[in-house]
Chains A and B, each alone.
Chain A
Amino acid sequence: MQQTILDRVDRVADGVVSLVLRGTTGPLAPWEPGAHIDLALPNWLTRQYSLCGDPADRESYRVAVRHEPLSRGGSEYVHLFLRPGRNLTVSLPRNNFPLVPAPEYLFLAGGIGITPILPMLRAAVASGAGARLVYVGRSIAAMPFAAELRASHPDRVDIVATETRDRPDFAALAAALSPRALVYCCGPGSMLAAAEAVFPSDRLHTERFRSAGRAFAPNRAFDVVCVRSGQSVQVAPDETLLDALTHAGQPVPSGCREGVCGSCELTVLDGEPEHRDDIGAPPGRMFACVSRALSSRLVVDL
Chain B
Amino acid sequence: MTHARTRPRRVYQDEVRARLGEPEAMIRAKILDHIDEHSHRFIAHSPFLALATADAAGRADCSPRGDYPGFVKVLDERTLAIPDRPGNRIADSFGNLAENDGIGLLFLIPGLRETLRVNGRAYPTDEPDVLARMRTEGSEPVLALVVEVAEVYFHCGRALIRSRLWDPASQALAAEIPSPGETAVGQLGLDIDPALLDRNLEASYRKLF
Contact = CB atoms under 8 A, between A and B. Distances in A.
Interface of A: 42-45, 70-73, 76-77, 80-81, 240, 243, 246-248, 257, 289
Interface string B122-149: 0000000100111111100000000000
Contacts of B70: 43, 73, 76-77
Given A42-B45, A240-B138, A71 B68 contact: no
Interface string B27-69: 0000000000000110011010000000000000000000011
For the complex of A and B, list the 4 residue pairs with the smallest distance between their C-beta atoms, beginning with the closest: A247-B206, A43-B69, A73-B70, A43-B70
Contacts of A240: 138
Contact of B68 (A45, A81, A289): A45
11 contacts: A42-B45, A70-B133, A72-B132, A72-B134, A73-B68, A76-B70, A81-B44, A247-B206, A247-B207, A248-B206, A257-B137
Given A43-B44, A81-B44, A243 B137 contact: yes
Nearest to B139: A243
A70 B134 contact: no
Contacts of B207: 243, 247
Contacts of A43: 44-45, 68-70
A70 B129 contact: yes
A47 to B, nearest CB: 13
Given A43-B70, A289-B138, 15 more contacts: A42-B69, A43-B69, A44-B47, A44-B69, A70-B129, A72-B133, A72-B135, A72-B136, A73-B133, A76-B44, A77-B44, A81-B45, A243-B138, A247-B207, A257-B138
Nearest to A249: B206
B132 A70 contact: yes
Nearest to B68: A44
Contacts of B71: 73
- Could you tell me the dominant secondary structure of chain A's interface residues? loop
Contacts of A289: 138
Contacts of B68: 43-45, 73
Contacts of B129: 70
Contacts of A76: 44, 70
B41 A81 contact: yes
A80 B40 contact: yes
A71 B75 CA distance: 11
Nearest to A44: B68
Contacts of B45: 42-43, 81
A77 B73 CA distance: 11
A77 B206 CA distance: 27
Contacts of A72: 132-136
A128 to B, nearest CB: 45
A279 to B, nearest CB: 17
Nearest to A257: B138
Contacts of A247: 206-207
B190 to A, nearest CB: 26
Interface in B160-200: none
Contacts of A42: 45, 69
A187 B24 CA distance: 56
A240 B70 CA distance: 25
Nearest to A254: B137
Contacts of B44: 43, 76-77, 80-81
